Each structure stands twice: as structure tokens, then as C-alpha cells.
Structure 1
Amino acid sequence: MSASHSATGNKAPYYYVPADSAHPVRASVALLIVLIGAALWVNSISFAPWLVGAGLLMLFVVLWGWFGDAIRESEGGLNSQRVDHSYRWSMAWFIFSEVMFFAAFFGSLWYTREITTPWLANIDHQNMLWPNFSATWPNMGPAGVVEAFQTVGPFWLPTINTALLLTSGLTLTIAHHAIRANHRGKTAFWLAATIILGFIFVGVQAYEYMHAYADLNLRFDSGAYGSLFYMLTGFHGFHVILGATMLLVIFFRVMKGHFTADQHFGFEGAAWYWHFVDVVWLGLYLFVYWF
């Protein structure tokens, strides 16, 4: 990838170092407000939801300005190959951290099903701690303390969502090839299709949650199964919203004329994240809905 150049034709600096910024401090304060508000919220403090909302609004404003500065630096030709490489490594490590995040939850699912459940059903634990416990997955806890519930199978909503995400990966790949060929209109069209598919996925998942809660009596306190089901699928849904929002920002940047066939890492970084979200869903589809 060739080094970017400024509007005056000058070559970008060896490594652009931005001026001192208050954005990190402001973001830290906003996150602190959100965490304090969340802690008060779970303790039923009346004004806590407003505090969380104020912190999130402050964080949004900070990120708007922060990313705006980064975009202006890029469009001003200040980012050389070395800055581009830094962005790529940073995004790669961020996605790796997300891989570890989901690995922890998948590991919890495996450990609960394959290790803890059989262990608690042996004769010693049944007599001492877990009377009438059955080593089945999912289970109703000791002596059936968990309200009866039904599991969510793969048909049809999860399967529809799988088709939606796989299709969105295809449309995003077409958009990527289009921007590399400098076909801006085609890029915008297929990028918009990807974003629409992503938000449809979120809508289908919301409908699935309503069905699970109202018709299957599957709740967050429905034993280990309920907790892990909502933690895994819920965090994935949050990542879909985040990824679709990232792609929406990229869409508006494409419409404003940002990016070139050689310089478009903002697009690529969001695309990497979206494909990661696709892969995580395939794991969820198999290990949560099928097995």
C-alpha cells in the first residue's frame, strides 16, 4: 500500500504524532460515570438510569470528536504506511481480545455441560448437596428449584439469522472488491445491503427473545442454561449492533468521497470486525442451538 499524501502533494510524515488531546481523559470520565450509574442502578437508586444515560451520551460525544479528529488526519494526508501498519496491528489485537472474550463464555458452556453437570450428579453430591439432581443438559437444578422451561432450537429463527449473517458477509466482500476497483456507487450499494441485513438480524433476535421469554419461560435465571444462552447470544447481538454501526459510519464516509482504491483501512477494519462477528455466530449456532 502506497503512503498517503497531503492535499498539497507533500509526502506524509515518517510517523505522524498527533498533538496532546483531552479525548482519553474525557472518555475515562464518561466510562466512570456509566459504571457508577450501573452500580447504583442494580441497587435500585432512583436517579441511576439517568446517570448511566448521561455517561453514555458523554461517551458518544467524546467518541464523535475523537474519531472525527482521526478521520481529518487521514483525509489530510498525515497517515503514512507506518501509521497504517499501526492501525492494522491495533485492530488485529482488538479482535484478538474479542476472541478471548467469547472463548471465555464458550469455555463456560463446555465446562458446565461436560464437567460440572456429571460431577454434581454423582452419588456423593446427590446425597450431600444436590438431591434428585439429574445429569442432563439443560437441567432444573437441585430438586427442581429452577422453574420449568423449554430450550430454543435451531428452527427457524436462528437458522434465518444464520442465513442473514452469511449473506451479509458475502455482500460486504462484494463491497470490498468494489472499493478496491474504485467503484464508489457499487461499494455504497453493497455496503448498505450489509448494514440492512445486520439490523434485520438484530430485529429477528429481539423477536426470538420475546418468544423465549413469553412462550418458553426461558429467562436469565433459568439455571446455567438460561444464563449462558442470554450471555452468549446477547453479547453477540451487541457486537452485531456495534459492527453495523461501524459499517454505517463507513457508508457515510464513502458517500462523502472518503477512501481510495489504495487507502481504505477504515473500511477494511470494520470489515474485519464484521467477519469476526459472522464466525462467532456460526459457533453459537452450532453449540448453543444444535448441540
Structure 2
Amino acid sequence: MDNKTNKYYLPSPSSWPLIGSIALFCTLAGIAHWLHEAWYGPYLTLFGFFLLVYTIHGWFGEVIHENRQGLLSSEQVEHSFRLGMFWFIFSEAMFFGAFFGALFYIRVFVIPDLGDPQSVTHILLWPDFTGSWPLFANPDPSTFAAPQSVMNTWGIPAINTLVLLTSAVTITIAHWALLKGHRQTMLLTQLLTILLGITFLILQANEYGEAYFEKSLTLASGIYGTTFFMLTGFHGLHVTIGTIALCVIFYRMLKRDFTPHNLFAFEAISWYWHFVDIVWLLLFVFVYWI
């Protein structure tokens, strides 16, 4: 529906937020207990995950149905959606900011202090430790076995950087084509964006296999392994979510749900995808390169 109205649509009370909260709680609690080797950890995680998928399917399905009925055509409603997406991406930026902050704190303060011969910490705890990054010789190698080598910068990470930068171009072209009414170009570039996202995930899975089996780099490899997998792993999760969302948007494009004046869902996913691209550029520089 192209025409905007001044009528603000107020939906009926919904149980989806409560169900979603329960799903997230069960998923996170299940993962925590799984890591502590509780027998019910995997089952609680799976229950929470499938409940979360059910919530997303049902909640977003209702919103899509409301949009097709023209109930969300108010400028006020669209403004609310845009603000909601803005704060969601802001919260995601703070999420990754915490992990990048931990990485910078470790590299700039902790490692140099532990390796400083004049430091009391160095003298009392690990007098034989030499501070360097990436960390191959952990302060307590009996507890955390260091990896054999670091991840290559100009192999898969460089290719994945090119893949994501290309996907940023294709989704921008899809946006332009949607605004201009060029349906074939829109569909083709949206499909290319999806294929590029899948390519990124396949290459990252291959890189993880190399890290585990060839370089002995794991979450138990000390702080280098921990920061590497936490940052790249959560980014990979976001790429996975983004790729699924792109597939949903592509399906809605085939159903002709979007017009030049009714395309917020597409714009929201494109914002999210560009955010994922920016995070990867920071990862490439500070995790792989420098």
C-alpha cells in the first residue's frame, strides 16, 4: 500500500514478547549448563532455540500480515519502526564494542604489564613470561596450551572481506532498483547478496576447520583463541541471521510486497547488513591484520 495515512495502528496485546523472553532465557541457560557439562544443557538449549524460531516466525508473520492489510501505512508507525531498528543496531554496536574493548584492554594494558620486568605482577606471578601479541606462550602453559600459529591475514580473511564488500554493493543496487521499479535488477542483485553471504559462511567454516585441526587454535588456547573465536564467532552468527533475513526479503520481493513507498523491511535488513560489513572490516584490521 503506497499511500501514507495519519492513523496510528495500535495492535492488540501480544504474548510474543513473553514467549520470546522465555526462549532466550532457556537458550542462554542451556548453553551455560552445557558448557558446565550438565546432562540437561543440550536439551534445554535445543528447546530454547526451537521456541525462539517459533517466536520469530509467528511474530514477524503477524507484522507481515498487518503490512499486507495496509495497517502499517501510517507515517507515525513507520517512524516507530525506524527508531526501533536504529536502537537495535545501536545495541548490537555496544555488544561488539564490549568485545573489542576487551581485546584492546588485553593488548594495550594486560599483556605489556605481565611481560614488563619492572612490573610487580610479572615478578610475583610469571617472571619467565614474555609479553607479545598474538600470544603463543601463555603465562601458564600447563593450563592453556598455546596455538601452533596464528590465522593468516591474506588468505580466507582477505577473500571474505572482498565477499562482504561486494555484498554491500549488490544490496545497495537492489535498494536502488526497488526505488526505481527495476524488478529484474532488484531480484538478481538481492539473490547475489544472499549467495555472497552463504559464500562467506562456507569460507569461515573452512577457516575454523583450519584453526582447529591445523593450528591447534581453540577456545582453550588462551586469550588469543578466546578473543578470536568470540569476535569472529558472534560475527558469523550475525551473518547467518542476516542471510536468513535476506532470504525472507527475497521471498517477499517475489510476492511483490514492496513498492518505492513501502519498503521499510528491506531497508531495515540492508542497514543490518551494512552494520555486519563494518564490524567485519574492524575484525579484519584488529584481529587478523594488526
Range class of TM-score, shorter chain:
over 0.9
Give, in whole Å, the separation in 1 of the partners of 2:12 and 2:235.
36
Amino acid at match of 1:127: I
Does residue 137 of structure 1 match 2:125? no
Query: Which residue pairs with 1:227 in the alignment?
Result: 226
Query: Which residue pairs with 1:24 in the alignment?
Result: 17
For residues 182-220 of structure 1, what are the alpha-carbon distances to aligned partners after superposition, in whole Å with 9 as ceiling and x for unaligned?
222221111011011001101100100110111111111
Amino acid at match of 1:161: N
Give, in whole Å, the separation in 2 of the partners of 1:205 and 1:49.
24
Amino acid at match of 1:62: T
For residues 122-163 of structure 1, what are the alpha-carbon distances to aligned partners after superposition, in whole Å with 9 as ceiling and x for unaligned?
232222011211021122222644424211121211011011
Query: Which residue pairs with 1:209 in the alignment?
Result: 208
Tell me: CA distance 1:4–1:13, structure 2 relative to 1, closer, same or farther (3 Å): farther
TM superposition shift of 1:41: 1.9
Give, in whole Å, the separation in 2 of the partners of 1:290 and 1:132.
27
Give, in whole Å, the separation in 2 of the partners of 1:108 and 1:246.
30
Residue of structure 2 aligned with 1:14, choices 7, 21, 46: 7
Structural RMSD (CA): 1.6
Amino acid at match of 1:208: E
Secondary structure in 2 aligned to 1:175? helix
Contact 1:168–1:197 (8 Å) recurs in 2: yes
Give the count of matched residue pairs.
Answer: 284
Tell me: CA distance 1:227–1:39, structure 2 relative to 1, closer, same or farther (3 Å): closer
Gaps of 5+ in 1: 6-10
TM superposition shift of 1:121: 1.7
Please say which of residues 64-73 and 40-49 is displaced more in the overlay.
40-49
Does residue 193 of structure 1 match 2:192? yes
Does residue 85 of structure 1 match 2:79? yes
Query: Which residue pairs with 1:8 in the alignment?
Result: none
Amino acid at match of 2:125: L
Query: Which residue pairs with 2:177 in the alignment?
Result: 178
Tell me: CA distance 1:229–1:195, structure 2 relative to 1, closer, same or farther (3 Å): same
Kindly, what percent of the aligned residue pairs are identical? 44
Query: Which residue pairs with 1:115 in the alignment?
Result: 109
Contact 1:4–1:12 (8 Å) recurs in 2: no
Residue of structure 2 aligned with 1:60, choices 53, 69, 76: 53
Q: What TM-score results when the alignment is normalised by the length of structure 1?
A: 0.93
TM superposition shift of 1:222: 1.4
Amino acid at match of 2:123: N
Give, in whole Å, the separation in 2 of the partners of 1:36 and 1:99.
24
Gaps of 5+ in 2: none
Give, in whole Å, the separation in 2 of the partners of 1:42 and 1:233.
19
Q: What TM-score results when the alignment is normalised by the length of structure 2?
A: 0.93
Tell me: CA distance 1:118–1:48, structure 2 relative to 1, closer, same or farther (3 Å): closer
TM superposition shift of 1:112: 0.7
Contact 1:161–1:201 (8 Å) recurs in 2: yes
Amino acid at match of 1:100: M
